[in-house]
Amino acid sequence: MGDILSGLQLVASPTIALTIVLGVTLGFIVGALPGFGSANAAAISLPFTLGMPLEHALTFFVSVYAGSQYGGAIPAIVVNVPGEPGSAATALDGYPLARQGKAQLAIGVARMASALGGIGSVLVVIAVIGPMAQLALKFGSREMFLVALLGLAMIVTVVRGNPFKAAVSALLGLLIAAMSANVITGQPRLTFGLLELHEGVPFVAALIGLFAFTEMFLIAGDRSLRDAAVPLPTTPGIGRWRGLETVKSLARESLAGMGTVFRYPVTLVRSIMVGLLFGIVPAGGAAVGNFLAYGLARNRSKKPETFGKGNPEGIVAPEAADNAVAGGTLVPTLVLGVPGTGTAAVMLAALILHGVQIGPDVMRTEGAAVYATLFSLMLASILILPLGTIFATPLTLITRAKPAYLVPIIIVLSAAGAYAGQNSLVDVGIALVFGVLGLIMRKTGYPVIPLIMALILGPIAEVNFLRSLSLGDNSLSYFFASPLAIILWTLIFLILIGSIVGRLRRRRRDMGKAAASVVDDPTHASPART
Amino acid sequence: MRYLWRSRPKYWGSLIAVGVALAAAGCGTASNSGSQQEDKFPEQTIRVIVPASPGGSADIVARQLEGAFSKALGGATLRIDNLPGGGMNVGAVAAAHAKPDCYTMLVHIYPNLLLGNLTTKDVDYKPEDFYPLGTATYEATVLRVRNDSPWQTINDLVNAIRTSPGKYKVAISPQSSFHLSALYFREALNLDFALIPYGGAESRLALEKGEVDFLISGVFNTQSIASTTRVLAVLDEANKWPELTNNAPAASQALGTQIPGISSRMMGLVPVGCKTQYPNRFAILEQAFQQAVNSDEYLEELKKTKTEASRFPLSAAETDNFLKEQVPVMKDLVAKYEDLQPK
């Protein structure tokens, strides 16, 4: 308790408040630039933060993190180009809303969900950081393998439409994920002699290709879109630029969006829990957690068919989970020294360089700084509300930019983002390859989301599977030999059974209605198809 | 607001600098358009390639040395360029192929530097492509068990392994000095235990979780788990760090068998062309590196991370001799152990 109060005292200073404002602002900017990301911003800022007191440095990093998690949603909604890996799920319903001229509403939803996700997760973490670290210690290689398997099983809940195509996409993702040096023996597999592929296909580059490049290729390939301004808004008052009037109505719509979040309290809480779990257990972080939160929201919804067509609930789920991951990831980073995300890895470096011994003792030796960091994340989450409104409103005007200008600008920005990931031109080439792959998949009706999830989860599953085999002397019974493993197996089983039953039930209902069954997939909200 | 600006000018300066740095980063690498005059060196930013992500051990060494090194170079700007990937090889290859004008240097670790092209396919550099500026730190290898482990001494552990061959597991980081030390330890005593590969932080966590029975890792990098685990032996000639290692004996002494140990050494290097084509520039860099490693400022940085005992200043020539000696040793090692051979 003493540490919590000392932490609060550390945060209650004007310099901390200004650090948060600066951090959130910077985070928002790098988050909105595809691929650039908070991890890069944090790494570049690292040398400058070494002269600051520890709690200021940590405050700065968590603020950048929180700002970027929200900032990434803006381009995802406005142009279907996620700024951060976590925002890919936000595009599923955010982009259709923007196509309907409701970009402000969608961004308002994202803003409130992000803020509440951050605040909610920090409250939980503050209450139970000790036991949570204990929980993280229970996840050994075997359990991590099962968590990855659980994520793969949940692909079926995230993607609707043709299950065969989803399976092909997931298998392709697993194959691409295997393009690396074998995690145990170091044997290169399908790496084409590229050292850059030895640690696996760079994920950020792949994501930029599959979203940003693919989307721009589609727009460029569609004459009606290319030559005209994006056919947009239908909302009264935003149809044409009318100076102050427009800004006012944009702000009104944005506020309405923020209010919308409170219509989905269950989804909000559920998504925060999913985000927290994926923050604490480093199994894909926001990129996977957000899709799962989205899938769960749709499965539990009374109108699952409205998802992928601009249902605000489809933004609430991933955005709340997104910022909840930020809170959750602080637990393994601070207490176990295992960062779940790139930004957390830089924070870890800052802690080490500040002379903090990361490990089980950190709560005893640096309790006040840990709590101060958590409070800072909460403050940063709250600040997303006013700052986000100021920054995001002008950005939605992008939707009315002529594609002839928009496409080249976004391609250049995305290429720079792909390069920035690892300071490597090879990554830009990889992004281009994935752009073409995404184009083929979108044109032929294969969903890209199973591929993305398999790309993240494949390596986690592989390394932990091989390690578990060694640990269990090549006996498969090892995979069932802990209570947590049994729980995870049960969950995997329930998800698979549940999805089969759900599918059968839907089919029967559809047949009963004799309705025309149009295969529709949320990833196909492309302008080329609408 | 005014008050804040006045009260913490340095602090605000750094925050603004963050913004400027971010803008500059977007503009890419500055091209080498400066003069080639030997007498005015350095005139541009020196790029320090770190073949690891921020927070990795090579990265920490580079950042701790950065301030003192820059000062020793008369306030030259250093830019740390993290190039992770390919098991530290991506950064090493980039440095080997960099223009040898002494504006690019590399911070790397022995033995990984020598193992790169021996253990991994597609690695397009040789240790001879570099010449060292000197050595900065030294990290010996230790064997740790959990506090609640039944073994009190290294002899207890060795006896247990002999009683149940194949039963026990050790966590190691692949292709590190700790991995090589584990192989030597296993062979010298003819023991049968399984090596389970993990990343650095993961290997420490695996011991804490009880997923493995013991851990072979570094004296300093295991300090974060010092309160929940204890050292049974130091795999080095002698234990020079008794207060950090539960006063454990050196394994060779305790077990009465010669067990070769491999320790990591962090070093600064330049492409060999820097030394041959620009000897004056090389001399300036070498002198500055030595000055930095021996400086009080660097010691203060090491004290912050409680690693002051890791400082191990060696001159460029000493480091070069050491590396030359070790090249055949590593070749033999790789030839001997299938685990290490490129597949």
Q: Return d(Cα A31, Cα B43) in angstroms, integer.
A: 35
Q: Return d(Cα A192, Cα A187) in angstroms, integer.
A: 12
pLDDT tens per residue across span A437-451 = 999 998 998 988 889
CB spacing of A47 vs B80 below 8 angstroms: yes
Q: What are B142's strand-pairing partners?
A: B217, B234
User: How would you classify the pairing of strands B311-314 and B194-197?
Assistant: unpaired
Peptide bond into A75 cis (omega under 30): no
Beta carbons of B92 and B113 less than 8 angstroms apart: yes
Q: Is the pLDDT of residue A469 over 90?
A: yes
Q: Which of A44, A182, A187 sits opposite B21 (nearest CB)?
A: A44
Residue with tokens 């600051």: A52
Q: Which residues of chain B have pLDDT under 70?
A: 1-39, 343
Write phi, then psi, for B194 (nearest 5 degrees). Answer: -95, 140
Task: Look at the alpha carbons of A93, A98, A102, A108 in this order and tell me if their dihedral is positive or negative.
Answer: positive
pLDDT at position B19 is 52
pLDDT at position B157 is 97
pLDDT at position A253 is 79
Q: What are B139's strand-pairing partners?
A: B264
Q: Return d(Cα A141, Cα A271) in angstroms, integer.
A: 25
Chain A partners within 8 Å of B124 (Cβ): 195
Model-level pTM?
Answer: 0.79
pLDDT at position B321 is 97
Query: Which whole-number Å values give the CA distances from A474 to A468, A471, A478, B167, B338, in the listed order?
Result: 8, 8, 8, 12, 20
Q: At what angle do helices A313-331 and A285-300 cross, to 10 degrees?
A: 140
Query: Which whole-number Å values give the CA distances from B153 to B57, B166, B221, B232, in the listed order?
Result: 29, 20, 21, 6
Beta carbons of A300 and A317 less than 8 angstroms apart: no
pLDDT at position B201 is 78
Q: Which of A14, A198, A339 sits opposite B87 (nearest CB)?
A: A198
Q: Return d(Cα A224, Cα A402) in angstroms, integer.
A: 12
The more confident residue out of A489 and B37 is A489
Chain A partners within 8 Å of B228 (Cβ): 359-360
pLDDT at position A137 is 78
Average pLDDT over residues A351-356: 78
The residue type of B207 is L
**A247: confidence class by pLDDT, cuts 50, 70, 90:** low
pLDDT at position B190 is 94
- Count chain A–chain B contacts defined by CB atoms under 8 A: 172
**A2: confidence class by pLDDT, cuts 50, 70, 90:** confident
pLDDT at position A352 is 78
Chain B residues 286-315 within an 8 A CB cutoff of chain A: 303-306
**Which alpha helices (DSSP H) does B44-153 contain, by range?**
57-72, 89-96, 112-119
Q: Return d(Cα A41, Cα A456) in angstroms, integer.
A: 22
- Residue A298 C-alpha, separation from nearest chain B C-alpha, in angstroms: 35
**A527: confidence class by pLDDT, cuts 50, 70, 90:** very low
Q: Return d(Cα A196, Cα A202) in angstroms, integer.
A: 8
The 3-state DSSP class for residue A266 equals: helix
CA neighbor of B298 nearest in space, from B71, B58, B50: B71
The 3-state DSSP class for residue A199 equals: coil
**A1: confidence class by pLDDT, cuts 50, 70, 90:** low
Average pLDDT over residues A168-192: 85
Using CB atoms within 10 A of its CB, is residue A51 exposed (0-12), middle (13-18) or buried (19+)?
Answer: middle
Radius of gyration of chain B (CA): 22
pLDDT at position B168 is 96
Average pLDDT over residues A78-83: 83
ipTM above 0.90, yes or no: no
Answer whether B225 touches A (CB < 8 Å): yes
pLDDT at position A237 is 40
Average pLDDT over residues A88-97: 90
Q: Is the pLDDT of residue A339 over 90?
A: no
What single-letter DSSP state applies at residue A144? Answer: H
The 3-state DSSP class for residue A191 equals: coil
**Which alpha helices (DSSP H) does A305-366 contain, by range?**
313-331, 342-353, 362-365
pLDDT at position A505 is 80
CB spacing of B55 vs A349 below 8 angstroms: yes
pLDDT tens per residue across span B87-112 = 888 899 999 999 999 999 999 999 99
CB spacing of B87 vs A187 below 8 angstroms: no
What number of H helices and E strands is found in chain B?
Answer: 13, 11
Q: Which of B21, B53, B64 sits opposite A345 (nearest CB)?
A: B53
What single-letter DSSP state applies at residue B240? Answer: S
CA neighbor of A467 nearest in space, from B212, B175, B197: B197
CB spacing of A30 vs B89 below 8 angstroms: no
Average pLDDT over residues A135-157: 83
Radius of gyration of chain A (CA): 22
Write phi, then psi, for A181 (nearest 5 degrees). Answer: -80, 140
Average pLDDT over residues A325-344: 79
User: Which pair of structure tokens corresponds to residue B56?
Assistant: 């990795």
pLDDT at position B39 is 62
User: How would you classify the pairing of strands B141-146 and B214-218?
Assistant: antiparallel
pLDDT at position A284 is 64
From the candidates A44, A333, A335, which should be mutated to test the interface with B, based on the most B CB atoms within 10 A? A44
Query: Which whole-number Å values give the CA distances from A421 to A8, A307, A342, A344, A424, in the listed order?
Result: 35, 32, 10, 15, 7
The residue type of A464 is N
pLDDT at position A226 is 58
Residue with tokens 């000493």: B318
Q: Return d(Cα B255, Cα B189) in angstroms, integer.
A: 9
pLDDT at position A503 is 77
Q: Return d(Cα A204, Cα B84) in angstroms, integer.
A: 14
